[in-house]
Amino acid sequence: MFIKTLGREITILEVTRKVSRQMQEELMKGVIVKGDQPIGTTPDIPAVNALRAEELCISLLSGLSQEELDSLADDEYNTIREAVLLKKNALPNV
């Protein structure tokens, strides 16, 4: 996919275990899971963690740095985000 703002082509990679693990670690930063928490319940996750995990995933799968992501036009970021979503729902569901 060609990114006009950056003036270059990018390829969205496949989701690997490494990407999945890094994304889950970012998503769960600061979350405390209690020993007495009922099985099957989800702990409260800070909203900022979901955004950071999403950006990390997009960065890892697109090869774009944080600086490059920050410089993208919103429509280009959303186009890349949608392409990443097509890779087996790679982004966190929060």
Q: Which domain holds residue 69?
A: 2-29+45-85
Each residue's pLDDT tens digit in the chain (94 positions)? 999 989 999 999 988 899 889 988 998 888 877 777 777 777 777 878 888 988 999 999 999 999 999 999 999 999 999 998 887 666 655 4
* 70 found inside a domain: yes
Residue 40 forms part of a structural domain? no
Which pLDDT score is estimated for 88? Answer: 64
Would you say residue 93 lies in a domain? no
Inter-residue contact 29 to 19 (CB < 8 Å): no
User: Residue-wise over 26-52: b if at least 16 C-beta within 10 A, else e?
Assistant: bbbeeeeeeeeeeeeeeeebeeebbeb
DSSP conformational letter for 34: -
Q: Count the domains in the chain.
A: 1
Instruction: Record the pTM.
Output: 0.76
At 94 the pLDDT is: 44
Is position 68 within any domain? Answer: yes
Is 35 within the bounds of a domain? no
In a domain? residue 81: yes
Give the model's pLDDT for residue 41.
Answer: 77
Q: Is residue 91 part of a domain?
A: no
CA separation for the pair 42, 75 (Å, rounded) = 32
Residue 51, in any domain of the structure: yes
